[in-house]
């Protein structure tokens, strides 16, 4: 039997190609960083003024946002509309936010409920559960980000003009821009919270989506609510996988 000596360089090349083959089979739902980026925590609360269990969750999210300081912790409160038929219409409710929650429910194979919090598109829990929130935030901050997002913006009349740049190994991404009212109060006159004055924070008033697969660096323009001002409102941008819902980067936008 003849023995053939295989050149060392061919062996190394084969190992490298094999490694690349297995790397390409990595589950895209896992946050594998393309480069070392700090972790972040984006908390999405689904809530309603018509839900008696929601005020404690609203208060918890407010405390989390206030105590975050300079940490990359961002809270978005979406007011859903399916409670509106139970005696009180939430002025902040939007069917688009209800649809967003249903999209998440398909990912988690779970029922739709309020108050619900979803962190970075990967973890969900009851919105008033402070212990679960602490665990999820700590885990998210300790996990390197799989992308980076840079947005510069300016206001022209009632519109926001912005430029963005995205870096990520992921594909099928969309850039989400949340227009957020920081605080508001409501006197509820019917429904489960009848007679209560509710305090809200980080209320998402509009949520815009941009497909960035073909343009990781580009500009966009969007219309702002008439009562928008830079002192009482803010904008938060984040990168989300269109298929899995996983969020790979988030940033508060400086105007």
Asked if the model's pLDDT at residue 32 lies above 60, the reply is no
Q: What is the arithmetic mean of pLDDT over 183-187?
A: 97
- Give the residue with greater pLDDT, 172 vs 91: 91
**What pLDDT, on the 0 to 100 scale, is given for residue 22?**
32
**What pLDDT, on the 0 to 100 scale, is given for residue 112?**
94
- Give the residue with greater pLDDT, 136 vs 213: 136
Q: How many CA atoms lie within 13 A of 160 on its CB side?
A: 27
**What pLDDT, on the 0 to 100 scale, is given for residue 28?**
35
Q: How far is 170 from 56, CA to CA, in rounded Å?
A: 36
pLDDT band at 6 (very low <50, low <70, confident <90, very high): very low
**What pLDDT, on the 0 to 100 scale, is given for residue 180?**
98
Q: How far is 38 from 158, CA to CA, in rounded Å?
A: 33
CB 211 within 8 A of CB 159: no
pLDDT, one tens digit per residue, over 60-76 is: 999 999 999 999 999 99
Domains and CATH numbers, the chain: 41-253 (2.60.40.10)
pTM assigned to the model = 0.84
Report phi then psi at 104, rounded to 5: -65, -40
Asked if the model's pLDDT at residue 23 lies above 50, the reply is no
List C-alpha distances in Å: 126 to 28, 43, 46, 48, 55.
26, 12, 10, 14, 12
**What pLDDT, on the 0 to 100 scale, is given for residue 240?**
96
CB 34 within 8 A of CB 23: no
List C-alpha distances in Å: 222 to 166, 178, 181, 233, 247.
19, 11, 16, 15, 22
Structure tokens given for 241: 């996988």
pLDDT, one tens digit per residue, over 115-140 is: 999 999 999 999 999 999 999 999 99
Mean residue pLDDT across the chain: 86
CB atoms within 10 A of CB 172: 13
pLDDT, one tens digit per residue, over 221-249 is: 999 999 999 999 999 999 999 999 999 99
């Amino acid at each position: 039997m003849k023995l053939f000596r295989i050149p060392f360089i061919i062996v190394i090349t084969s190992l490298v190609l094999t490694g690349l083959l297995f790397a390409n089979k990595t589950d895209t739902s896992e946050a594998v960083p393309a480069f070392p980026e700090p972790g972040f925590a984006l908390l999405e609360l689904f809530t309603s003024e018509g839900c008696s269990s929601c005020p404690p969750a609203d208060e918890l999210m407010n405390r989390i946002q206030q105590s975050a300081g300079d940490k990359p912790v961002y809270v978005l409160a979406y007011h859903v509309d399916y409670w509106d038929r139970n005696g009180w219409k939430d002025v902040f409710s939007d069917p688009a936010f209800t649809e967003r929650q249903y999209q998440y429910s398909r990912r988690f194979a779970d029922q739709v409920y309020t108050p619900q919090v979803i962190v970075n598109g990967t973890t969900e829990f009851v919105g008033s559960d402070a212990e679960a929130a602490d665990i999820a935030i700590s885990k998210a901050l300790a996990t390197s980000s799989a992308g980076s997002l840079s947005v510069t913006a300016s206001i022209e009349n009632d519109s926001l003009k912005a430029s963005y740049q995205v870096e990520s190994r992921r594909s099928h991404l969309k850039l989400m821009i949340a227009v957020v009212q920081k605080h508001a109060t409501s006197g509820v006159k019917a429904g489960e919270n009848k007679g209560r004055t509710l305090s809200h924070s980080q209320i998402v008033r509009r949520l815009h989506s941009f497909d960035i697969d073909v343009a990781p660096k580009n500009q966009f323009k969007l219309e702002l609510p008439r009562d928008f001002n830079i002192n009482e409102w803010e904008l938060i941008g984040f990168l989300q996988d269109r298929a899995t819902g996983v969020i790979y980067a988030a940033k508060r936008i400086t105007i």
